[in-house]
Amino acid sequence: MRLDDYIEDLEPDEEAERRRLAKEKSYAITDHLEEFEQRFDSALSGDSLVGSTAPSIFVGRSNYPDIPVGLLSPVGDEDAAEEYVTDGNWYQQGYDIPDVLQRRTGLLNSSKRANVDSPSIASRMAPSVHDTWDGFVGVQREIAIAGKPVDLEIGLDDAPDLGLDAGTDVATPRGPRANARNAELRENPYVPKQVKKTLEDDDWQAQGAMTYLYRRGFDVYEINSILSAGALGETKQRRLVPTRWSITAVDDTIGQYLRGGIRSKPSIDEVQVWANEYMGNRYWVVLAPGNWEFELVEMKAPGSIWNPNPGDDVWLQSASEGYEGRSSYVEETAGAYYAARLGVLEYLESIGRQAKCLVLREVSDDYWAPVGVWQVRESVRNAFEGEYGEAETFHEAVAEVSTQLPVSYARLRRKSELAAGLQSNLSAFSRGG
């Protein structure tokens, strides 16, 4: 399909409905928290939550290396525990921002503090994390490596704080929190044999173990939990990894693995433009013939969560890599870069091709609460599910798409190396081309 026809046929998002939901957001969150408080009071037995089910874990980063570690469990909705797990199913089910906040406000984060290398802060003589299979940190690890949510009993030191932590553009928001005294499993968790294999190999580096699990059908969400709980890598190197860091580490590691595979593949033979829109975020993915290159450009509208002043200009930032990849961590676009890159690389790997790629992410003021970098990953992954538009050249495609963006083509070219034609020349020069 010609690119101009493709753009014309794109259905607009339900803007009026999203704005209505945004206007009502504070009331919805308050209602969710009140419902949680009622369910919590009903589920409490003395000072313990009996019969709770933990689908996931959380590892914080405050006061590193002595950090908060938590068990995330739905209170009063244990039979639906899997619906509270952050993964691609949220996209497939069409979750919007209120849906995500409802799930997060329904999860109790029962937490203690631990050292990243040892389950105990008080004594560095305690066993190392890799030896820990009992106590609170041990229970957390059992939950992380389990193939499904695990029933447990949690002893609490106090009532939950019902505030909502809005999170970041990497990690999902977090709901009520309570200080945990202890936790005990009420069943023997099922652990997939592939996970057991990575646990039992003392000399397997974390990167290799991650790619092994990915090649055997584990998605990045599952791998992230296992890494965060200190259950991957060479035995003496295993430690707790804050959730925000582990999300990016897994996206980057799997991305590097896929990039290594597609760079020996032939190039695509036409310019393709793919688009997707989700939760007030609009994505354009431009693929063009050539060796692997990648760039993410983010545009955040005034009044959006990361550019809150309505009087400001559109916030614009970019990060890129050439054929050999990057040698430094992306600061400008943080976890969104690695999540978007993963979605593109998975598609190229699936068709056995390489390409140069420009991803344009427009964040509108309809994105009124951060839900986590998973929505970037799933939006780019699913952009390739529909039709695409065709253009004669890469620059024609970018120029056409720029008519749909909140910044001018000239400003985009000043920020984007690919749009300006710089990255291709640098990549060819670095390879002696």
- Looking at residue 17, its pLDDT comes to 47
Q: Give the pLDDT confidence score for residue 425 in this predicted structure.
A: 42
**Which among 347, 257, 358, 247 has a CA at the least distance from the CA of 299?**
358
Do residues 113 and 68 lie in contact, with contact meaning Cβ atoms separated by under 8 Å?
yes
User: What is the DSSP code string of 285-321?
Assistant: EEEESSS-EEEEEEEE-TTBTTB--TTSPPEEEEEEE
Angle in degrees, CA 393, 3, 426, rounded to 5? 30
User: Which are the contacts of 387, defined by CB distance < 8 A and separation ≥ 6?
Assistant: 1, 6
Cα separation, 10 vs 357, whole angstroms = 21
- pLDDT tens-place string over residues 190-199: 999 999 999 9
> Model-level pTM?
0.88
User: Sheet containing 150-156: which strands, arranged edge to edge?
Assistant: 44-45, 48-54, 150-156, 177-185, 107-115, 66-74, 56-59
Alpha helices by DSSP H, listed for 229-293, are 243-262
Phi, psi of 404 (to 5 degrees): -100, 0
| Intervals of the chain under pLDDT 70 | 8, 10-52, 119-132, 162-174, 305, 422-433
Question: Could you give the 3-state DSSP secondary structure of residue 150?
Answer: strand
pLDDT of the residue at 429:
33
**Residue in the block written with tokens 């019969």:** 51
Which residue matches tokens 């004594």?
123
**How far, in Å, CA of 108 to CA of 106, rounded?**
7
Q: Determine the pLDDT at residue 46.
A: 58
Element (H, E) at 418: helix 417-420
* DSSP line for 160-183: PB---B---SSSPPB--EEEEEEE
- Which pLDDT score, from 0 to 100, does residue 214 have? 99
Sign of dihedral through CA atoms 244, 217, 294, 316? negative
pLDDT at residue 176, as a whole number: 82
* Rounded Cα gap, residues 301 and 281, in angstroms: 10
Helix (H, G, I), strand (E, B) or coil at 406: coil
Check residue 349 and give its pLDDT. 99
Q: Between 193-200 and 206-215, two packed helices, what is the crossing angle to 10 degrees? A: 160
Measured CA distances, 425 to 212, 250, 271, 294, 401 (Å): 35, 30, 18, 14, 22
Q: Radius of gyration over alpha carbons of the chain, in Å?
A: 23
The whole-angstrom separation of Cα 86 and Cα 245 is 16
Length of the chain in terms of residues written: 433
